[in-house]
Structure 1
Amino acid sequence: ADLAAVVRDQLELRLSALHVVRAEQERRKVEEDKRQAEEEARKRAERDKAAIAAFASTLQRTLVPPALPAVPGLELACHYKTASPQEVGGDFYDVFPVDGGRWAFFLGDVCGKGAEAASVTSLTRYTLRAAALVDADPTAALKALNAALLLDAAVGTRFCTAIFGLLDPARDGGFTVTLATGGHPPAYHLSPTETGNVRVEAVRAKGGMLVGAFPEAAFAARTLHLAPGQGLLLYTDGLTEARTADGHMLADSGLANFLAQRPAPVAAGALIDDTVALLDTLPDTERDDVALLALSVPTLDAAPTGITTTAHSAAAPTADASVGQENRRP
């Protein structure tokens, strides 16, 4: 009986040890399976994120021109940055020829983001281009866009702000610019002064209403002369609504003060570069998309005209986040 008890105890100890070993093996297997599942889920999430970013980037490129055209006697530059690489932005711009040696340009911002905003952006861009080919008057183009947005049931309650310009070559080598606005922030006209500074004027056309919000919307236009050495900056509110280090928005006043410190004569490429550098110094620039479009008339002793600069970039500041390229074409 004693021997049997000893044997039983030994068997129970060995059986208990075996259970412990098996339990530990099962625990490790569960942990390994969990780790592998988490790793697979992480890789799948990264693939999905990359696929969404690639899709958004591809779609975004169809909504803005791949490069700015070479306009004789004019320097053009632009910059586009989306708030998130996973979303399609609602900002838009374009430059294209119309009739009689004239050129049209526009820049605007659709309410919201994502696929719905992208559909409105596409409709907006091609409607403005088509309308300008029928009637190049900027006010008429905005009226046509307003009607198109209100008639399209798929647009819903989406509306946009826009500024539309017409460039008419002048005898002095500059351009007569007619600007029509539809609820958009003012453009800034930069011109050198006799003291070597830059005078900054906000080009406001009073009365321009939101586009696509009201059936009887009214749009206002204003004409200015863009002489050699002068420039014009158009932007979306992602620039002026970005907050500085002290928590205040840059606002129109901050942007005007910044532009007044630019060197003369004004060059579109340098103006865009300086403005992008300003954005890089602001800690709060990823809330909204930012679109910039600059035009300038080189002086007679400047480099050959028709220079264009195009830059598209996603939200991330790293070099691999670029969704476009820079083009400089004489």
Structure 2
Amino acid sequence: MPGLELACHYQTDSPRDVGGDFYDVFPLGGQQWAFFLGDVCGKGAEAAVVTSLTRYTLRAAAQHHQDPTEVLTALNSALLLDPSMGSRYCTCVFGTLHPAPGGGFTVTVAMGGHPPAFHVQHAEGDGTGLTVQGVRPRGGMLVGALEGAQFASHTFHLAPGHGLLLYTDGLTEARLPDGTMLGEQGVATFLTTRTTPDASRLIEDTIALIAGLPAGPGDDVALLALSVPLTPAPGRPATASTAHTLATPPADDTARTGQEH
């Protein structure tokens, strides 16, 4: 995607069970793009069927609805109307990207029962560490659980030098050495100690965080990061896709976090 760096990672909890985590990024035409990430309840073949229906429904609905909340509403209806889905539901974040005047992108995200995305940027002042803001519109209900479910959206500017990290709850429900869950605040605190909001580094560092936990994640983990480079490197396209190498997380716990609505 011109002007944007993308990176992703998927880590399964078990090689024997098919997971229900999913993500995608795709064009809508007219320099507009869409992205989503989510998690279907349960595992196994039934969860895989719901995952497939969810991905294709989101892609199709995005061609007919400009409002991300309407896209989630269409998915909610599709899951409830298909008797083969049983009582399966999912959490999901769906967003759109539009090039913004002056650089970066206007991002609109709608949430359906999903953990907050993290909007990451350099901290003001001495320039060390990052500022992390949780993006979770109020009112987003689970998708496919109730008729008439309501969804909310939030619009913000992903400016040059900013990043956005999306993840499934396998990350936040991972256990620390004392047995407590890492949680949303734990992830946000960890991200504030990073040195760059670049998508590839956000993914690499988060993978390292998972690898450093005693028991690893207790569930599948899907990660998707987007970032806007300050200036494209000479001779290098602005679009990249990576998701592998590990970095060692520091022990610093200092947090500078906020909440966006």
Equivalent residues in 2 for 1:1-330, closer than 5 Å: 71-194=1-124, 195-196=126-127, 197-264=129-196, 266-300=197-231, 302=233, 304-310=237-243
Three-state SS of the structure 2 residue aligned to 1:233 is strand
Contact 1:93 1:107 in 2 (8 A): yes
Root-mean-square deviation (CA, aligned residues, Å) is: 1.1
Q: Secondary structure of the equivalent of 2:55? A: helix
Contact 2:118 2:134 in 1 (8 A): yes
Change (3 A) 1:286 1:190: closer
Q: Deviations over 1:272-299 (max 9, x none)?
A: 0000000001122342100000000001
How far apart are 1:138 and its partner, in Å? 0.8
Distance (Å, rounded) in 2 between the aligned partners of 1:289 and 1:88: 10
Structure 1 position 309, deviation (Å): 1.6
Q: Offset at 1:136?
A: 3.1
Q: How far is 1:82 from its partner?
A: 1.0
Aligned-partner Cα distance in 1 for 2:188–2:71 = 28
Instruction: Tell me the distance in 2 between the aligned counterparts of 1:138 and 1:207.
Output: 14
Structure 2-normalised TM-score? 0.89
SS, match of residue 253 in structure 1? helix
CA spacing shift, 1:205–1:152, aligned 2, 3 Å = same
Q: Write the deviation string for residues 197-256 of structure 1: whole angstroms up to 9, x where unpaired.
A: 311000110000000001110000000100011000000000000001111110011111
Distance across 1 between alignment mates of 2:122 and 2:243:
25
Distance in 1, matches of 2:36 and 2:62, equals 11
> How many angstroms apart in 2 are the aligned matches of 1:161 and 1:310?
23
Number of residues of Structure 1 aligned to a counterpart in Structure 2: 240
Structure number with the higher strand fraction is 2
Quote the residue 1:67 is aligned against: none
Partners in 2 of 1:284 and 1:212 — Cα distance?
Answer: 32
1: distance between equivalents of 2:42 and 2:106?
A: 34
Using the TM superposition, give the Cα deviation of residue 301 of structure 1 relative to its aligned residue in structure 2, in angstroms.
5.5
**Aligned residue type for 1:308:** S
Q: Aligned equivalents of 2:30 and 2:174: distance in 1? A: 40
Structure 1 residue 134 displacement after superposition = 1.4
Unaligned 5+ segments in structure 2 are 245-261
Q: Distance in 2 between matches of 1:287 and 1:241?
A: 7
Shift of the alpha carbon at 1:147?
0.3
Structure 1 residue ranges without an equivalent (≥5): 1-70, 312-330
Distance 1:85 1:289 in 2: 10
What SS is found at the alignment partner of 2:2? coil
TM-score in terms of structure 1 length: 0.71
Distance 1:301 1:209 in 2: 38
Larger RCO (CA within 8 A; separation ≥ 6) = 2
Q: Determine which structure has the larger helix proportion and give its number.
A: 1
Give the superposition deviation at 1:114.
0.2
Q: Which moved more, 1:81-90 or 1:123-132?
A: 81-90
Q: SS at 1:276's partner residue?
A: helix
CA–CA distance in structure 2, aligned partners of residues 304 and 298 of structure 1 = 11
